A and B are shown apart, each in its own frame.
Chain A
Amino acid sequence: MSEALARIDPVSGSAVFANGVTLTLVEPMARFSLRARQPEALEQLLGFKLPRKIGASLDCAACLGPDEWLLRAAAGTKIASGSGQPVSITEISERSVCLIVEGARAAEVLASGCPLDLDRFAVGRATRTVFETVEIILLRTGEDRFQVEVWRSFAPWLRTALETAALQLR
């Protein structure tokens, strides 16, 4: 965005490796919270399809609730403001950071603090949940690969918690 000012992320970008599990910070991206009673209203504005089922994802959009989608795109992406329409489009690019938890035992690391049944959380699913007391959005992007969206001020704690869990796998 800016040449003059440096970006600073709340956690470092380098990968941490323990017991076959890596934790990596995802590069900056654009994020938008999309809200509407009817997904068609948003689809017309944005020109792409939104997933209909809660917990489903389609391309870069995930359906988080009956009237809520999370859109993630390349950094700097601009979209319509929705002004005058019965929708809400709010930019939240910097609200959270995304950690990738990857490896054969990635699900085990997440299960140390996330009460979801990850056996039943198929690739492509996305949902708002918690890790211990911290709210996260969890996306399964591969059998052994998860993305964890977390608000930036909680990221250092979450990263330490995930790292500790990965280190202590037996």
Chain B
Amino acid sequence: MSGFRLDQGGRVDRSRRVSFSFDGATYRGFAGDTLASALLANGVMLFGRSFKYHRPRGLLGAGSEEPNALVSVSRGPGRHTPNLRATAVEIYEGLAATSQNRWPSLKTDLGAINDRLGMFLPAGFYTKTFMWPRSFWDKLYEPAIRRMAGLGEAPSEIDPDHYGAVYAHCDLLIVGAGPAGIDAALEASGTSKRVILIDEQDEPGGGALDDPALWSWLNESLKDLAAAPNVTVLSRTTAFGYYHDNFVGAVERLTDHWAEIGSGPREKLWRIRAGAVILAQGAIERPLVFAANDVPGVMLASAARTFLQRYGVAVGKSVALMAAHDSGWRDAFAHARAGVNVAAIIDVRETIDAALLAEAQALGIAVRLGHSVIEVHGRLGVKGMTVARNDGSAATRIACDALLMAGGWTPSVHLWSHSKGSFAWDEALGAYVPDRPNEKVRCVGACSGKWNFGSGIVIDALPTPRNQARIKAFVDFQNDVTAKDIHLAVREGFKSIEHIKRYTTTGMATDQGKTSNLNGLQIASQALGRPVTEVGLTTFRPPYTPQTFGALAGHAKDDLFQPTRKTPIDGWAEEHGAVFELVAQWRRARYFPQGGDDMHAAVNRECRAVRSAVGIFDASTLGKIEVVGPDAAEFLNRIYTNPWKALEPGRCRYGLLLREDGFITDDGVSARLTPDRFHLTTTTGGAARVLNTMEDYLQTEWPELDVWLTSTTEQWAVIALQGPLARQLLEPLVEGIDLAAEAFPHMAIREGTICGVPTRLFRVSFTGELGFEINVPAAYGRALWEQLMNAGAAWGITPYGTEAMHVLRAEKGFIIVGQDTDGTVTPHDAGLDWAVGKKKPDFVGKRSLARPDIVAAGRKQLVGLLTDDPAVVLEEGAQIVADPAQAIPMTMIGHVTSSYWSEALGRSIALALIEGGHQRMGEMLHVPMPGQVIRAKVSSMVFYDPQGARLHV
């Protein structure tokens, strides 16, 4: 034996040496080692500092249940992973790991002062102490506490790795490739079922990996599974959550164990839909609760055996066992047989199976029954222990450098709990076991409570003659919760485990209480004098173990974060220096700066061009719906507020859409192409919602109507030509359409061709100028745009963006749904009474328009607002008051919804929602802003060309 590595045994590859570092010191291990086993082999017992008291901590377990040995692994910029369990980190050449939550070093940690002050840091300490003064919490208390109590540091750089994902389907999903899971997979391998077997460790086998007697069976079984075409075995894959209908999320770790990570994905998210699920997650050994049970070197007996038999590493030169369960005896015997000195077996029970006693005797191990450990000696590592009879007498000190705990077993029922399966309390096991399933799932092996580890007794804490209030007997190692914290919670009146858990934080660490939940329950049960089942059962939630954000985010970053929808003309805008804005998922050109234009200058120039010559605008993002069928007009008549049945083919109408509550939800101009075909438009952001709403009414309210809806938003590119010269520009390019004013009036549609491409040409205007909206098949949008730019060069054609569009429409008092309305505005409030059919028997929202509150006086109504000082442009969202001299807080009577500099009027304009606004025409109101109060007069919403003379030319 060199150091703690045994001369033989274990599954590590002794022919392949691997060097790695921990806190800067270089060590060597073997391929197949975890960071934990390799450090243990080098005699390292100290792995970390605890969360609250900064106590030195070693390994408690050997697998994903490990609460203490959390480390960070860094492998270059952006590749820093904190809070990894050393027991689950595979070593590779060059691995660089560091310990956490200590300063300046692991051995000398100044934060350990908290341990001395432990008496003053009881459960609930922070909430009790740092509440006052309240204002200190954010700036002083919380940051200070966070510095002191913590886990590893979150990475601060962008993660350069890729994360893959897949949807997988199978008939049978088996979680856990221990003997029970492998047996289940073998049984299904002869069938036609698609089987997926997943396991979190680096190799399948589970508990069989710790038992050399099972290795040949394991090899044969894995060979059989590999040969079965219907079975997929996934190692290094953690099933982290069980969701509805047998949907299981799992993360496969692909490159973290490689020395060279390459370019492929680091992890892969498996979204598995299974016909049936078998959970074979095994069981986790339970620690025992006694003073200083967290000194490095005190660990689960089963973990020690894993290190011994799987990794060929002894956890000490002289180990002792503290048992409440037979399984620990077998673990101790394994150590003795491997040549490790077993200092003593202590068992809290008075009587033990004779065969175990005989075997201990044969191996020459001293045994003390009816005894308990009452103290552990050593601070950075175990140096010995004091044991006493259960009545407290005959205290004796025994030297040892590792102390194994065998407190019985806890079935791993996490995924069962996610699936909402019910539980039964098993008194003999002292554990909840799966009872009735909620999904198509069953548990096999140890996670169902069936195991052959022998028997034991269930005990809340080991007997001790010492003052309970003076000892730290840990229950939750990761969150530093002791037995006395739970007693305190009970004394302070908490009776349910759900409350005790939140008050003490037991079971709430990143390990989700895998080793602590049942001890916490037992202690609470004893303290309350009530059976465990009355104290409760805590619920497990995903994830089973912490997972990276990367795995969940997948490719959803950078270009693939989410689709940015671009119009066919977007490329031209980009090449011509447009500044863009996002509208719903679309990006739209906001303005086109020229030379050194700022937005203000560009927008003024664009507005001038539209009012004096011709502007060109990409309106392709407008939602479009083709409504077709014999009942198309009837359908629109029911959906929109205004009448549609009499609209003649070839004409357009403004449609206003309400919700059932009578408030405006969308609007748009729509055209009747033929008696049974309409071309609807919606707002850019409302397109999908409006289609869904219409489809909903059609399917659920009016299934008798013969009419169908088809989204045509992306079928058409739409180019708006607006301005007094629009017709002259268009005339030579269009065939089959008479553009003359009398032949093609405002609010009409014609079909023909433009530049040889079929077009639906609308004569509509959102600017108040003579205007056309040219619809062409989307693939021709850009070429047509360029053609119009060429043809219009002589006319001074000017591309304008959404900002100028907003100014131009505001000058005309045209509303933008969602900007000038906020979901509480009725047609009357918006001054759109003219768009409500008074004689219509019904339309969506009609009934609500007669409700008392909707017709009551004093509602907020949309009006124009003109500042006293024409140069002042109000801020959108600014609050409006009637009397600026009133005391603060003032009564706010409305707010500004739209506000712009109007180049055409040479002054600012605004729209505002104001209480009783329609009755306030001419009234002077006030807009209090920092440093000044702005005076503004209520006006009509139509600021420019109120007669509409410019439209009808």
Contact A154 B779 (CB under 8 A): no
How many Å lie between the Cα of A82 and that of B706 in the bound state? 13
Contact B779 A113 (CB under 8 A): no
Number of A-B contacts (CB under 8 A): 150
Binary per-residue interface labels of chain A (19-31) against chain B in the complex, 1 for a CB within 8 Å, 0 otherwise: 0000000001000
Contact B629 A86 (CB under 8 A): yes
Q: Which residues of B contact A132 (CB under 8 A)?
A: 556
How many Å lie between the Cα of A6 and that of B781 in the bound state? 9
Stretch at the interface among B128-136, B358-366, B510-518, B752-760: B752-760
Contact A90 B628 (CB under 8 A): yes
Is A12 at the interface (CB under 8 A from chain B)? no
Contacts A35-B628, A83-B674, A94-B715 given; does A164 touch B560 at CB 8 Å? yes
How many Å lie between the Cα of A87 and that of B710 in the bound state? 12
Contact A95 B755 (CB under 8 A): no
Name B778's closest neighbour in chain A (CB-CB). Answer: A94
Is A143 at the interface (CB under 8 A from chain B)? no
Contact A114 B563 (CB under 8 A): no
Q: Which residues of A contact B755 (CB under 8 A)?
A: 2, 4-5
How many Å lie between the Cα of A134 and that of B781 in the bound state? 23
Contact A170 B630 (CB under 8 A): no
Stretch at the interface among B162-170, B372-380, B525-533, B838-846: B162-170
Stretch at the interface among B76-84, B117-125, B564-572, B638-646: B564-572
Is B783 at the interface (CB under 8 A from chain A)? yes
Is B555 at the interface (CB under 8 A from chain A)? yes
Number of interface residues of B (CB under 8 A): 57
Contacts A86-B629, A92-B710 given; does A115 touch B563 at CB 8 Å? no
How many Å lie between the Cα of A94 and that of B167 in the bound state? 30
Name A115's closest neighbour in chain B (CB-CB). Answer: B167
Name A9's closest neighbour in chain B (CB-CB). Answer: B779
How many Å lie between the Cα of A115 and that of B559 in the bound state? 22
Is B62 at the interface (CB under 8 A from chain A)? no
Report the minimal beta-carbon distance from A170 to chain B, rounded to whole angstroms. 6
How many Å lie between the Cα of A37 and that of B166 in the bound state? 37
Contact B780 A111 (CB under 8 A): no
Contact B562 A94 (CB under 8 A): no
Is B782 at the interface (CB under 8 A from chain A)? yes
Contacts A10-B568, A95-B715 given; does A1 touch B168 at CB 8 Å? no
Contact B271 A115 (CB under 8 A): yes
Q: Which residues of B contact A108 (CB under 8 A)?
A: 166
Contact A86 B714 (CB under 8 A): no
Q: Name A170's contact: one of B264, B571, B674 (CB within 8 Å).
A: B264
Contact A112 B165 (CB under 8 A): yes
Name A83's closest neighbour in chain B (CB-CB). Answer: B674
Contact B778 A4 (CB under 8 A): no
Within 8 A of B (CB), among A88-146: 88-96, 108, 111-117, 119-120, 132-134
How many Å lie between the Cα of A58 and that of B781 in the bound state? 33
Contact A88 B629 (CB under 8 A): yes
Report the minimal beta-carbon distance from A135 to chain B, rounded to whole angstroms. 10
Interface residue tally on A, bucketed by range:
35 or more
How many Å lie between the Cα of A151 and that of B778 in the bound state? 11
Contact A5 B780 (CB under 8 A): yes
Is B676 at the interface (CB under 8 A from chain A)? yes
How many Å lie between the Cα of A108 and that of B783 in the bound state? 38
Contact A5 B783 (CB under 8 A): yes
Within 8 A of A (CB), among B229-270: 254, 264-265
Name B626's closest neighbour in chain A (CB-CB). Answer: A90
Name A153's closest neighbour in chain B (CB-CB). Answer: B565
Residue with the highest number of chain A CB atoms closer than 10 Å, among B194, B562, B674, B706: B706
How many Å lie between the Cα of A6 and that of B264 in the bound state? 40
Q: Which residues of A contact B49 (CB under 8 A)?
A: none
How many Å lie between the Cα of A88 and that of B677 in the bound state? 9
Contacts A1-B758, A94-B777, A164-B555 given; does A8 touch B568 at CB 8 Å? yes
Contact B757 A5 (CB under 8 A): yes
How many Å lie between the Cα of A66 and that of B165 in the bound state? 32
Within 8 A of A (CB), among B140-163: 162
Report the minimal beta-carbon distance from A26 to chain B, rounded to whole angstroms. 13
Report the minimal beta-carbon distance from B763 to chain A, rounded to whole angstroms. 22
Contacts A88-B628, A94-B715 given; does A8 touch B563 at CB 8 Å? no
How many Å lie between the Cα of A127 and that of B319 in the bound state? 65
Q: Which residues of A contact B784 (CB under 8 A)?
A: 5
Contact B273 A117 (CB under 8 A): yes
Is B22 at the interface (CB under 8 A from chain A)? no
Q: Name A92's contact: one of B162, B712, B781 (CB within 8 Å).
A: B712
Contact A90 B712 (CB under 8 A): yes
How many Å lie between the Cα of A88 and that of B713 in the bound state? 17
Is B586 at the interface (CB under 8 A from chain A)? yes
Name B254's closest neighbour in chain A (CB-CB). Answer: A170
A residues neighboring B (CB under 8 Å)? 1-10, 28, 33, 35, 37, 67, 81-96, 108, 111-117, 119-120, 132-134, 151-154, 156-158, 160-161, 164-165, 168, 170
Additional 16 contacts, C-beta under 8 A, given A90-B708, A153-B563, A157-B564: A83-B674, A88-B629, A89-B628, A93-B715, A95-B714, A112-B166, A115-B167, A119-B194, A134-B563, A152-B568, A153-B566, A154-B563, A156-B566, A160-B559, A161-B560, A164-B555
Q: List 30 A-B contacts (CB under 8 A).
A: A1-B757, A1-B777, A3-B756, A4-B757, A7-B783, A8-B568, A8-B780, A10-B568, A28-B779, A83-B674, A88-B628, A88-B708, A93-B777, A94-B716, A94-B778, A96-B714, A112-B164, A112-B166, A114-B167, A119-B194, A133-B563, A152-B714, A153-B565, A153-B714, A157-B560, A164-B162, A165-B164, A165-B555, A168-B265, A170-B264
